[in-house]
Amino acid sequence: MDTITARAVADALGVSLPTAHALLDDEGVSRTGRGIPRVAPIAVLEALRARRGSVPRSAFRRTDVQVLLVLQRFEMGLPSARAIAVRANLSPSTVAAALTRLRAHGAVTDDVVSIRGGRVRRIRVDPASWPTSVRNAVTRATVPTLTTSTRPMPRGLRPLLRGAQDEASVARALLRSPDPLAWAWAVANVPEAVLKDVARHRGLNAEARLMVHRTLAASVSSTNGLSSSGGTPT
C-alpha cells in the first residue's frame, strides 16, 4: 500500500504539521511513538485534498491562493464573491475576506468589461502582479472537489441544451455559447475526459477553449504534485 508521511500531508495541503496530525486523527490514522514517522495511506491524502483542496505555502493565505486559482481560470473575471465561492467550494464570507486582503495587495482588480453588448462589473486578476511564491502556489493549488449535486445548472442555461443527449453534446453546446457562465458550468461539472475530447472540436468559443485547456492543465499539475509528495521525508 502506498503511504505518505504526516509532514508530506502537511506540505501537500498547505497546512501546519499539527493541523495535519489533527486531520489524520479525524481520518482514524493511528499515531506512532516519539521519533517514529506517522504515515497514512495515500488514499487518505486524496480524500483530504478532495474536501479541503491543497495549497503550497506562499506569501498569501491558503484561501487567498484558492480564490486566485479560481479567478485565473476566467479570462473575463467573475461578478461577485458568491460566484467565486461556488466555484472554490468556500463560503461567501471566506471569499469576501480573502478578496479584501487580495485587493490590499493589488492581486485582484474590480473592472468593468463588455460582455454580450453590455458592460458589467468583474473581479479579475493579473498574475504578473503576484509575488513569485504566490504564482508558483497557484500553479500547484487545488480547490475542494465540486460535484454536479452542488452545482445545479442555472435556469438561464437550459435553453442552450435543446437537442443535447449526452455529456459531450452538453459540453459542446455550453462551450459554443458566448456566455462565460455556460463555460464555467461546463468546466466545473463535465468530466475531464469529456472536456478533453470536446476541446478538440471546431466551433467552440475561443475563450471557452482556453478556459478548458487551463483547467485541464491545472488538474494535471495538481496530480503531479500529489505523486511527487509521496517521498517527502518527515
**How confident is the model at residue 219, as a pLDDT?**
56
**How confident is the model at residue 108, as a pLDDT?**
94
In a domain, 234, yes or no: no
In a domain, 155, yes or no: yes
In a domain, 211, yes or no: yes
Torsion of CA 88, 92, 94, 97, to 10 degrees: 120
What is the Cα gyration radius of the chain? 19
Distance CA 172, CA 205 (A): 10
Cα–Cα–Cα angle for 189, 220, 47, nearest 5°?
Answer: 65
The grid cell for 72 is 485565473
Q: Are residues 156 and 213 in the same domain?
A: yes
**How confident is the model at residue 117, as a pLDDT?**
65
The grid cell for 12 is 501537500
Q: What is the 3-state secondary structure (H, E, C) of the chain?
A: CCEEEHHHHHHHHCCCHHHHHHHHHHCCCCCCCCCCCCEEEHHHHHHHHHHHCECCCCCCCHHHHHHHHHHHCCCCCECCHHHHHHHHCCCHHHHHHHHHHHHHHCCEEEEEEEECCEEEEEEEECHHHCCHHHHHHHHHCECCCCCHHHCCCCHHHHHHHCCCCCHHHHHHHHHCCCCHHHHHHHHHHCCHHHHHHHCCCCCCCHHHHHHHHHHHHHHHHHHHHHHHHCCCCC
In a domain, 229, yes or no: no
Q: Are residues 44 and 67 in the same domain?
A: no
Q: How many domains, the chain?
A: 3
Structural domain for 187, as ranges: 148-224
**How confident is the model at residue 12, as a pLDDT?**
84
Question: The domain that contains 94 carries what CATH number?
Answer: 1.10.10.10
Distance CA 160, CA 149 (A): 20
Q: Are residues 74 and 134 in the same domain?
A: yes
**How confident is the model at residue 222, as a pLDDT?**
42
Last residue of a domain, one of 140, 159, 180: 140
Distance CA 143, CA 13 (A): 10
pLDDT tens-digit profile, the chain (234 residues):
588 999 999 988 888 899 999 989 888 888 888 888 899 998 888 888 877 788 888 889 989 999 999 998 887 788 888 888 878 878 888 999 999 999 999 999 998 877 666 777 889 998 988 999 999 999 988 887 644 334 567 778 878 887 777 788 888 889 988 888 888 888 877 777 888 888 888 888 888 888 888 877 765 544 344 344 444 333
Q: Is the Cβ–Cβ distance between 70 and 87 less than 8 Å?
A: yes
**How confident is the model at residue 146, as a pLDDT?**
45
